[in-house]
Every structure is written in structure tokens, then in C-alpha cells.
Amino acid sequence: MNNEELDLETPLRDEVEQHIRKLIRPLKDEDELRAVLKVKLTKKEFKVLNNWANKEELKPILEKLSLDEKRYEELSLKLIKKLNQEKLKQEIMI
């Protein structure tokens, strides 16, 4: 895999773009985005977002994070709200 192909693989960025309602500027590149989100999100929120981005199955992540489906839903809603906060959006956009 060459560098051009690596640049095209941006599962985290693609996932974040899907959840942000109003994106004014483009998001940072994958590595920078990952670094900002790792700091701004809780560990569980970050793992859930990564799980979505990599299209992984739900059951293993629920077990790994010790979550039931109700708590997972609450965490997912909180995560999407957080991604749409202006302050966070400013940090993840170019």
C-alpha cells in the first residue's frame, strides 16, 4: 500500500463527518483528528466512535466496555451531541 492509498483511508474522519450536522470547514487529517478526539472524548466514547468507524460488530464492544444496550444508546447520543458542540468542532476542523 503506497502513501496515496493510505491518505484515502479515513474511516474515523468519514464517521465523524456523518454525525456532525453543520460542518463549516473540512476536518483535520486522520492522525490529527484521532489525537484531538482521544483527548476530548472519554475512553468509552472514543472506543465507540472507533467501533462505528471500523464497522465492527456491536456485541464485542459492549462486552469489552461492560455496557448494556440502554447505556450504549445513552453513550451514543452523548457522543453525537459532543461532536456537534461548537468548541469541539473548532478543534477538529482545519
**DSSP sequence for 39-59:** HHS-HHHHHHHHHHHTT--HH
Record the pTM. 0.88
Q: What pLDDT is recorded for position 4?
A: 41
Place of cell 463549516: 24
Number of domains observed in the structure of the chain: 1
For residue 36, what are the domain limits?
3-92
Closest CA to 90 of 28, 43, 45, 34: 28
- The set of cell numbers assigned to 53 is 468507524
Per-residue pLDDT of the chain (94 residues; tens, 9 = 90+): 334 444 578 999 999 999 999 999 999 999 999 999 999 999 999 999 999 999 999 999 999 999 999 999 999 999 999 999 999 999 999 9
